[in-house]
Amino acid sequence: MRAALLVSAKRLVVASAASGEREVDVTAISVLIVDVAAAGRRFGSGVAAGELQSMLIKLQDFTVVLVPFGADATLVLVADPGVIRNSVRRVYSTRR
């Protein structure tokens, strides 16, 4: 995991932790993630699919997972490519 952030609806980083060799621009992510979550909420509403539960964004350099906590905050996880997929696979394989 490269970073974990809790971002307020006002685009402020409430808390964050980062690790790894490659830096993550926490400020840029906090500013942009609020708009991304809002787009996900609008999409769910627009197609009558309900509330946004979580969102996975796969990019060339990293993967972002966001989980809204009401209208006030969003949890953001930033990981190297493949880390999230492998973690999910491990969770499901241990449940069987």
Read off φ and ψ for residue 36, nearest 5 degrees.
Answer: -65, -45
Determine the pLDDT at residue 87.
56
**CATH among 3.30.450.30, 3.60.21.10, 3.40.30.10, 3.40.190.10 for 3-95:** 3.30.450.30
Q: What is the pLDDT of residues 19-54, one digit of tens each?
A: 877 788 989 999 999 899 999 999 999 999 999 999
Domains of the chain, residue spans: 3-95
- Comparison of pLDDT for 8 and 70, the residue scoring more: 8
- Is 18 within 8 Å of 26 (Cβ atoms)? yes
pTM above 0.85, yes or no: no
Quote the CA–CA distance of 5 and 51 in Å, as a whole number. Answer: 21
Q: Residue 82, exposed/middle/buried by CB under 10 A (0-12, 13-18, 19+)?
A: exposed
- Is 24 within 8 Å of 1 (Cβ atoms)? no
Strands (E) in 1-91, as ranges, are 3-8, 13-18, 55-58, 63-69, 73-79
